[in-house]
């Protein structure tokens, strides 16, 4: 298995370069085509400036001038991002397709992500103003139908996918995430399966022991070992998995995303939300 099509979302934030470099490194190692997608939309500061202009007592000319400044700022930002994309492509020796589009990222990006093997996003990219209050990351996780790799909003990451922690609980979502991550797992130097409260999950659903996942990954050539953790409160699972990942020196966590079908916009699993909100390492999730 291999990653042949990677998509990275680049926006006006400084963290876009971090995501771009990690995606370019993956593309180089996997011989993948890399697409950088930039959506020309207002960031929170620009939305605030626009609202101030429209709700204030300024003239129509003043409002038009403010909107023109915002449009020019977005265009200049896209131009700067394009220059960085070209520079990173040369640095890593990969061809990067540039797509710069108008619209709302929460609508545009999923359509393009469905034609990628993996989509690389920020932890906390802003949502469109018309969205329901959930983050851009949460929306894309549940609507793309593709695995999504989230890069934390803080921190630097020298490697990605050299040592992978698989957060395993025998669920459908975990199985989907592991399968989607197999191209990375097969190339990793080391894989550590972390199973939290495996006895409880076996009691509830008759799950097989997590040792079975070790055997499965070993069949794929992975250098895999396992850590089983018991009596961890549900509210502490996400923090525990991340702490263990740091302890063993991992640079990527693979986890299933938990939500309620047809109600994901209202209810997202607590562990999933904790990982998205407090991630300190890149996380690959599937739903």
pTM of this prediction? 0.85
Domain ranges of the chain: 5-151, 163-286
4-62 confidence digits (pLDDT tens): 999 999 987 888 999 999 999 999 999 999 999 999 886 666 666 656 666 665 666 76
Residues 222 and 188: beta-carbon distance below 8 Å: yes
**Highest CATH level, class, for 163-286:** alpha beta
Residue 264 confidence (pLDDT) above 50: no
Closest to 46 (Cα-Cα) out of 73, 8, 27, 28: 73
Closest to 249 (Cα-Cα) out of 144, 153, 120, 158: 158
| Helices 211-219 & 172-185 angle (0-180, nearest 10) | 30
pLDDT at 129: 42
One fold for both 5-151 and 163-286? yes
Better-predicted residue by pLDDT, 77 or 177: 177
**Cα 81 from Cα 10, distance rounded (Å):** 7
- The listed CATH number (1.10.10.1100, 3.20.20.70, 3.30.9.10, 3.40.50.620) that belongs to domain 5-151: 3.40.50.620
How large is the average pLDDT for residues 163-171?
Answer: 94
124-158 confidence digits (pLDDT tens): 644 444 444 567 877 888 888 899 999 998 888 98
Q: Is 168 helix (H, G, I), strand (E, B) or coil?
A: strand
Percent of the chain with pLDDT over 90: 54
């Amino acid at each position: 298995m291999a990653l042949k099509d990677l998509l990275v979302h680049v926006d006006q934030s400084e963290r876009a370069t971090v995501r771009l470099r990690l995606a370019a490194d993956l593309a180089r190692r996997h011989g993948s085509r890399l697409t950088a997608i930039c959506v020309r939309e207002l960031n929170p500061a620009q939305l605030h400036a626009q609202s101030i202009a429209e709700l204030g007592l300024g003239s129509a000319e003043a409002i038009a001038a403010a909107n023109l400044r915002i449009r020019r700022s977005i265009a200049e930002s896209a131009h700067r991002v394009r220059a960085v994309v070209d520079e990173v492509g040369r640095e890593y020796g990969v061809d990067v397709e540039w797509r710069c589009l108008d619209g709302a990222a929460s609508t545009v990006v999923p359509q393009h992500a469905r034609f990628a093997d993996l989509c690389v996003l920020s932890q906390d990219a802003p949502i469109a103003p018309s969205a329901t209050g959930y983050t851009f990351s949460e929306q894309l996780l549940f609507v793309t139908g593709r695995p999504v790799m989230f890069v934390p909003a803080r921190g630097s990451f020298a490697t990605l996918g050299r040592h992978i922690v698989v957060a395993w609980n025998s669920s459908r979502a975990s199985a989907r995430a592991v399968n989607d991550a197999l191209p990375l797992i097969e190339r990793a130097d080391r894989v550590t399966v972390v199973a939290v409260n495996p006895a409880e999950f076996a009691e509830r659903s008759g799950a097989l022991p997590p040792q079975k996942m070790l055997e499965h990954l070993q069949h794929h050539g992975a250098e895999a070992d396992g850590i089983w953790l018991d009596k961890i409160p549900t509210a502490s699972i996400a923090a525990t998995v991340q702490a263990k990942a740091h302890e063993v020196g991992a640079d990527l966590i693979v986890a299933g995303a938990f939500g309620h079908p047809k109600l994901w916009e209202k209810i997202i699993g607590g562990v999933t939300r904790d990982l998205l909100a407090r991630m300190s390492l890149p996380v690959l999730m599937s739903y």
